[in-house]
Structure 1
Amino acid sequence: MSLLGGIRPPIAAMSALLLALAALTAFQLGHVGKSTVPPAVLTSQQHFAEDGAIALRASLDESVTDIGRTASLFSAGEPVSPDSVLDKLGNVYQKWRGTAVIEIKSGRLAAQRGENLPLTALDLTTLNAPNGLAPRMVRLENGETRLLTLALLSWQGHPQQLLVASSSLRVPGVSLGKSRAIAVLDASGQVVDSSGVGDAGRERKQLDAFAKTTAQKAKQHPLQSKEPGSGGFPGVSGSLLGDAASGHRSVAGYAKLAGPAPGEGTDATALGLTVVSFVGVTEQGSAVGDSFFWLAAAGALLVLGAIAVALLVVTVQRPLLQLFLESRRIGRGDLHRPVTLPKYGEAARIGAALDRLRRQALGEPGAPADGPRPGRRGRIGTRALIAVCAVLLLAWSAPLLLTLNRAGTSVKVPQTIVDDQRERTDTLADRVRRALNEGHADLTSVASVLGAKSTPAEVTDLLERTRAQHARYASLYVLRSDGTVMARAGGTPHHLGGKAPSREPVTVIDSGHEPVITEYAEAPALGGAAVVGELRIDFINALLRRPGLGTVRVVDGKHRVVGGNSGYLAFARLPNDRLDALVTSANQKTGKGPGARADVIRDGGTSVAAAAPLTGGGLAQPLGWTVVSMQPAKGLEIAAYTAQNRTVLAGLLGLTGAAACLGWLHIIVVRPLRSLAERAEALADGDRRTVLYPTHHDEVGAVTRSLEVIRQQLQEQRKRDAGGGAGRTGAAPAGRN
């Protein structure tokens, strides 16, 4: 018989599946909430470190680009003194701790601003080598680390000079809250900068322990550090559990600097830096982790499964096997013993037909082939028995799928997650603010090198080079005081024709289908003209894409949506009144003053929401923008939702296993058995012409073959009877003669 056919395999498979599911329910699914730190908290710390790594990488790459572009702008114009270079650089950008200009040939310091730079760490003879101008880290005498960014200043007929800028490796704009600490590690695991960590004490020891572990994990390949298909941050990242003391435990996240796309490196990623952030959380157990429910569910499954399997064995399997043996016996010619008739279903009908065939073969009176059919036995069919088993298993699966362990709207969200949502949203708001400020600084840098004698062709070339270096601009142009465009690069300007440049450094124009963020930087040498840059809205939206924050929106002062990390309608209202109230609270000027706010919103479901205005100074603050984020709590790894998801999983597994096995049984056994019952009764009623073919090589197929043998025997018997009767009719007259 077929290995996968017959009555035994589906029943055995269902038994094995139910036993496995009961074991899984009791010993694996029941382990929910056993950890004293919810997995959602660990994941949140990982996302926090990833935010820091993204911010640091963007800041370092922006600094490298700014220094290189500034040097190229000065080199393209008339020669200026080193002091003028540093003064203009300081007026446009205020992000470097120190700047200097060095004559490369003599090694003489030509000019310097800010803190003293460790110029002795520079080897001026290697600047022309490959990567000779790459940024490098140097350690000062006081133990602090600085990043030196280099660029060449060269004019024809003048000695070549080196422009150097130093900056700290502190993560920019990250909101730490009250008890969080963050640090930057080099490739060897040494701390190069930290915030929120003292020079001694438990936090410093914990940071050293995290740094040692992180240095090892950061050496992994990004594809090996995460589960396949997890996506999100393109580099190496993860979370760590620290030491516990007095009911508190340190939880850390780490993220190695990675490029904007997988496999794409930058000057910052070549430094091999890793960001580590950690916070202390209160250890807590969870009542959801009680395993009694899961043990009871496993026990109930064993009881219901045993009843279902026993029902199938007693009412389906045994009668069919008995029918198989009886049909073989009759087919071999053993006709003197009556057929043992099953009590239920199609097997009873086939057994009754088989016994009639036996009596017909014996030529017993009262069992003619064309006589009336006996009353049907076993009106309860095999399909009804299968349905009863399905109802038994559904009685276990349905409550798990629909009612048991429902989290509801009263789920308690850990305060650490609410705080993280607030701090991460505040960090994101600062990133948007810095991006707008950096864009205006770039325009100011371009405006500062424009001269009164600059031709439109020269200005256009300058704008094209600037747009190629910074992908944030959709259009760059120089707008004269009379509203005419002197030169442009990129798309068509959206500025209203005939109007002078705006006095506001940044404005938002409604183009009809998307907001156009326009920045203005006055060009002093052009008499009222301004360099105008229109930022791509996709550039702002790309800044908002952060895993673990849910839906993120940027709204203006009227709470209208300006940008978002997913599909949105420009200048539409926020979808929730509670979000409107949260934005109002974040921008209020009384009480706590403007600042990030977070809350748990329970409106048809539980969500964690936060709002953070663009504070911290710069031209972006007058816009009145606010970054709003909201994510459903059911997507977090909180014990209540994990228990709900696992309960649904158990119900789905039970439902799927029952449907698969009972469906298998119905297709392989029940349908052929019902068809065979009809053909067996037709054969017993006198149909000797229809050949019986087995559907499968199993018990039903074996009974079919036996009935086919019996049909052939009865047909031969009829031929013999007919031949014998004809012979006697023709021989009588001869005897009389």
Structure 2
Amino acid sequence: MSLIGGIRPPIAVLSVLLLALAGVTALTLGRVGQDAVPKAVKQSQQHFAEDGAIALRASIDESVTDLTRTAGLFNGGDPVAPDAVLDKISSVYQKWMGTAVVEIRSGKLLAARGENVPLAAIDRSKLKDEDGLQPRMVRLENGETRLLAFAVLAWKGQPQQLLVASSSLRFPGISLGEFRSIAVVGHDGHILSTDGIPEPEQVNGPTERSEVAQANKQIKAFAQIAAKKSRQHPLRAKEPGSGGYKGVSGHLIGERFLGERAVGGYASLAPPEAGEATVATGLGLSVVAMVPVTEDEKRVEGSAFGLIAAGALLLIGGATIFLLLRTVQRPLIRLFLESRRLTRGDLGRPVTVPKYGEAARIGRALERLRRQLLGEPAEPGRAPKGGKGGRRNFGARTLVAVSGVLLLLWSAPLLLLLNRPGGDVQVPQQLVNDQRERTDTISDRVRRALNEGHADLTSVASLIGTGTEPAQMGKVLDSTLHQHSRYRALYVLDKSGRVLSKAGSDPRAAGEKPSIREPIRVEDDGGKEPVIIGTAEVQGRDGAAVVGEFRIDFLNSLLKRPGLGAVRVVDKDRKIIGGNTGYREFQGLPSGRLDGLVESARQKVGANPRPSGVLYRDGDDIEIAAASPFAGSGAAAPVGWTVVTWQSASGLAIPEYTLQNRTVLAGMLGATAAAACLGWLHIIVVRPLRLLADQAEKLADGDRRTVLYPVHHDEVGAVTRSLELIRQQLGSQRKRDGAPAGLAGRN
């Protein structure tokens, strides 16, 4: 018999699938709601740590790039005094804790600004090596850690100088909200910096001190785990095909303290593109975020539904399998045995005829053929009562359909009716808080990115003096464009709008007078995307300015974060500037309530707007939304942009929705198993069996000319071969009896 054909394989496979589905149903549906902290809250802390890792990586890489590029710009011009170098750097960038210029040969300190730079940690003998200028971390006497970045100042005829900048490993613009803490962890699990955890001497009362002590203990434990897990390869640390964050990340569950459970997330510093390496990713740093979450023991649900559903499947599946075995498989196997008996010449006892269906028709035909082999005259077939042509009112096709209906009785309610939470889903408040704080973090990240871009333009403008020729300007612009991916075009305009020098794409603001009073502005030139323009005045050139056009893809790349849903940046008129998914430039937000959310966030505290988060309920539709206006200083502050995010709660791993999704999945699996196995049975067995019933009746009625060919090598095919042998025996018998060849097909 064929391995994939016959009556047994589809029924056996269906039995195995139903048993497996019953086990999966009992386990998966029974475990939903068993955790006091929903999975969505855990995943949210993981995304929070990923946001921190992205911000820290971008800050470190940007800091190193800016220092190297600034030194290169100084090296391309006339020699500048060390104090003048640091003054210009300080006037453009405010990101470093301290800066210094040191003569490399003698080690003499030539100039310094800000806090004392730990120069004793610099080994000047290794500065000539290829890796000698790589940034490094230095631990100060007070326990704090500083990141030192280096660049060489070299002019012809003068000793080489080392430009050093120190920065802290703190997170730029991370919104923590209340009770959250975040830390930078070294490769050995040592905490390098923390935010959100107060010092013990800053709190009053024994309860507060115990809470601070517990928080420090828990985040140290998380830091050790995160450092160990972050040593894995990113591809091995996640499920195949899961995608998402390009580094190693995950969530952690800590100890319970005063009715709250510490929930954390961790993430290693990862490059923006897979397979690349940056300065920050080579430091072996990780980020740990932690927040205490109140456990709701009343939300823990039992496993009764999963057990009941699995039991019902076993009963219905057992009845279905019994029906197929009793009414389809057993009669067919009996026909197979009876046909084999007749071909062997055992004609002494009558054929056992099944009670109904195609098997009964074939059985009656075999009995008539047995009599014809014994020499009895052929009798015309008689149709059973209520049918015609020897057919009963129902056959194998009807039995298979009944089996499918039985299985649908279990699958259909799961697909369409059961475990539908409606609008009464309990959405944890922590998810609303996280949506708000993560939106605020993205808003600050976009603002800082624009400020950094304008600072670059200001740095370039400060080095383009009155005597700089267009060719020299072009070299500076080309260097800046290739070092930063945020610009699509860089150019210098005179006071009338004439282009003096350019790099990159064609200028869109050419011919316009430089808008020096608006350091960053947005224009709509009728194209497919908004034009974001930054302008920095060139001192001493009578109104000339360096203009940079930001790539809209650069802005949108800052918004692509998992777990936030749709993200949009809107202007003062609530028109969309950028987004993480498809949008049309300068179109409005999709709903009036989002417009209201933006306005309420802008007016919340007057001149100091604060992010807003809200949970919208509209029937069965539940949506989490947040808005965060630009807050803070810098060139981007006056643009008045707001970052808006929203997502449906049904897409989060909340117990009610998880139970609904798993219930639907179980129903889909049941329907798929039934359709696959019963369809297999219909194609392999039922259709050939119906054809064989017609052929058997025609053969019994005297058709000796039609050759019977088996469709498959299975039970039906075996019965077909037996009927062919009987046809040949009947033809030989008539020839021996003297019947003419032309009458061999007649009775």
The TM-score with structure 2 as length reference comes to 0.94
1:504 pairs, out of 508, 518, 531, with: 518
**2:609 alignment partner AA:** P
Structure 2 residue 382 is matched with structure 1 residue 368: no
Structure 2 residue 102 is matched with structure 1 residue 102: yes
Q: Contact (CA 8 Å) 1:34, 1:285: kept in 2 or not?
A: no
Q: Deviations over 1:226-247 (max 9, x none)?
A: 1111112111111111111232
Q: Distance in 1 between matches of 2:659 and 2:108?
A: 69
Q: CA deviation at 1:498?
A: 4.7
Q: CA deviation at 1:557?
A: 0.6
Alpha-carbon spacing, 1:358–1:293, altered in 2? closer, same or farther (3 Å): same
Structure 2 residue 330 is matched with structure 1 residue 321: no
Q: CA deviation at 1:199?
A: 4.2
**2:702 alignment partner AA:** G
Q: Distance in 2 between matches of 1:363 and 1:446?
A: 111
2:288 pairs, out of 276, 279, 291, with: 276
Q: Deviations over 1:141-184 (max 9, x none)?
A: 11111111111112222222111111100011100000100110
Q: Distance in 1 between matches of 2:234 and 2:393?
A: 65
Q: Contact (CA 8 Å) 2:339, 2:719: kept in 1 or not?
A: yes
Q: Contact (CA 8 Å) 1:343, 1:378: kept in 2 or not?
A: no
Q: Distance in 1 between matches of 2:502 and 2:298?
A: 62
Q: Distance in 1 between matches of 2:473 and 2:9?
A: 81
SS at match of 1:222: coil
Counterpart for residue 218 of structure 1: 230
Counterpart for residue 534 of structure 1: 549
Q: Deviations over 1:24-60 (max 9, x none)?
A: 2113332111112111111111111111111111111
1:687 pairs, out of 692, 698, 703, with: 703
Q: CA deviation at 1:626?
A: 0.4
Counterpart for residue 489 of structure 2: 475
1:409 pairs, out of 423, 433, 454, with: 423
Which runs of structure 2 are paired with 1:449-488 in the superposition (5 Å)? 449-488=463-502
Q: CA deviation at 1:694?
A: 2.0
Counterpart for residue 733 of structure 1: none
Counterpart for residue 721 of structure 1: 737
Alpha-carbon spacing, 1:288–1:641, altered in 2? closer, same or farther (3 Å): farther
CA RMSD of aligned residues (A): 1.8
Bigger Cα Rg:
1
Q: Contact (CA 8 Å) 2:514, 2:545: kept in 1 or not?
A: no
- Percent identity over paired residues: 62
Q: CA deviation at 1:340?
A: 2.2
Counterpart for residue 47 of structure 1: 47
Q: Contact (CA 8 Å) 2:498, 2:510: kept in 1 or not?
A: no
Q: Contact (CA 8 Å) 2:28, 2:662: kept in 1 or not?
A: no
Q: Distance in 1 between matches of 2:487 and 2:381?
A: 93
Alpha-carbon spacing, 1:390–1:288, altered in 2? closer, same or farther (3 Å): farther
Structure 2 residue 599 is matched with structure 1 residue 587: no
Q: CA deviation at 1:673?
A: 0.9
Counterpart for residue 396 of structure 1: 410
Q: CA deviation at 1:324?
A: 2.0
Q: Distance in 2 between matches of 1:498 and 1:696?
A: 81
Q: Contact (CA 8 Å) 2:11, 2:677: kept in 1 or not?
A: yes
Q: Distance in 1 between matches of 2:439 and 2:257?
A: 30
Q: Deviations over 1:185-217 (max 9, x none)?
A: 111111111111234511111111111111211
Q: Contact (CA 8 Å) 2:29, 2:303: kept in 1 or not?
A: no
Counterpart for residue 518 of structure 1: 533
Counterpart for residue 731 of structure 1: none
Q: Contact (CA 8 Å) 1:36, 1:284: kept in 2 or not?
A: yes
Q: Contact (CA 8 Å) 2:99, 2:164: kept in 1 or not?
A: yes
Q: CA deviation at 1:335?
A: 3.0
Q: Distance in 1 between matches of 2:590 and 2:224?
A: 46
Structure 2 residue 365 is matched with structure 1 residue 353: yes
Alpha-carbon spacing, 1:647–1:723, altered in 2? closer, same or farther (3 Å): closer
Q: Distance in 2 between matches of 1:724 and 1:624?
A: 104
Counterpart for residue 387 of structure 1: 401
Counterpart for residue 194 of structure 1: 194
**1:79 alignment partner AA:** P
Q: Distance in 2 between matches of 1:335 and 1:717?
A: 15
**2:704 alignment partner AA:** R
Q: Contact (CA 8 Å) 2:332, 2:359: kept in 1 or not?
A: yes
Counterpart for residue 735 of structure 1: none
Which range moves more in the overlay, 680-689 or 147-156? 147-156
Q: CA deviation at 1:307?
A: 1.5
Counterpart for residue 667 of structure 2: 651
Counterpart for residue 184 of structure 2: 184
Structure 2 residue 356 is matched with structure 1 residue 344: yes
**2:10 alignment partner AA:** P
Structure 2 residue 642 is matched with structure 1 residue 626: yes
Alpha-carbon spacing, 1:498–1:430, altered in 2? closer, same or farther (3 Å): closer
Q: CA deviation at 1:670?
A: 0.9
1:310 pairs, out of 301, 315, 322, with: 322
Which runs of structure 2 are paired with 1:658-669 in the superposition (5 Å)? 658-669=674-685
Alpha-carbon spacing, 1:180–1:692, altered in 2? closer, same or farther (3 Å): same
Q: Distance in 1 between matches of 2:19 and 2:740?
A: 63
Q: CA deviation at 1:322?
A: 2.0
Number of equivalences: 722
Q: Contact (CA 8 Å) 1:450, 1:525: kept in 2 or not?
A: no
Counterpart for residue 209 of structure 2: none
Q: Contact (CA 8 Å) 1:33, 1:285: kept in 2 or not?
A: no
**1:228 alignment partner AA:** P
**1:562 alignment partner AA:** I
Q: Distance in 2 between matches of 1:159 and 1:530?
A: 33
Counterpart for residue 125 of structure 2: 125
SS at match of 2:31: coil
Q: Distance in 2 between matches of 1:500 and 1:34?
A: 63
Q: Distance in 2 between matches of 1:520 and 1:559?
A: 24
Alpha-carbon spacing, 1:697–1:450, altered in 2? closer, same or farther (3 Å): closer
**1:214 alignment partner AA:** A
Q: Distance in 2 between matches of 1:630 and 1:724?
A: 88
Alpha-carbon spacing, 1:469–1:83, altered in 2? closer, same or farther (3 Å): same
**1:453 alignment partner AA:** G
Q: Deviations over 1:249-308 (max 9, x none)?
A: 111111111111112111111111111111011122465732111111111111111221
Q: Contact (CA 8 Å) 1:34, 1:286: kept in 2 or not?
A: no
Q: CA deviation at 1:580?
A: 1.0
Q: Distance in 2 between matches of 1:629 and 1:46?
A: 18
Q: CA deviation at 1:500?
A: 4.2
Tell me, which stretches of 5 or more residues in structure 1 are unaligned?
A: 726-737
Counterpart for residue 460 of structure 2: 446
Alpha-carbon spacing, 1:378–1:592, altered in 2? closer, same or farther (3 Å): farther
